Amino acid sequence: MRLTRLDTGKAVSVDYRSGKVVNLMAILMSAIKPDATEEDKRSFPRRFQDMVQTVFAHADEVIEIYE
């Protein structure tokens, strides 16, 4: 994503790469795959929240800003 200030015209690019610290697809698929167990489905909200906390804890690794 590229963000540009309207007043100065200065711009930066921002990359978000959560895959550096979590495997989002694996967490999602564990709950929706055809053979997902009831435990997989029941534990999904907790595992998803854990993933979000991991991403926030490693924000300096998942967000890159380039001028």
State how many domains the chain has: 1
Average model confidence (pLDDT) for the chain?
A: 95
pLDDT confidence of residue 50 = 96
Give me the amino acid identity at 49: Q
Q: What is the band of 15 on the pLDDT scale with cuts at 50, 70, 90?
A: very high
- Cross-sheet strand order for the sheet of 63-66: 2-4, 11-16, 63-66
Domain that holds residue 26: 2-66
pLDDT of residue 30: 92
Task: Calculate mean pLDDT across residues 55-66.
Answer: 94
**Cβ pair 10, 2 in contact under 8 A:** no
Which pair of tokens denotes residue 16?
Answer: 């978000």
Give the pLDDT confidence score for residue 25 in this predicted structure: 94
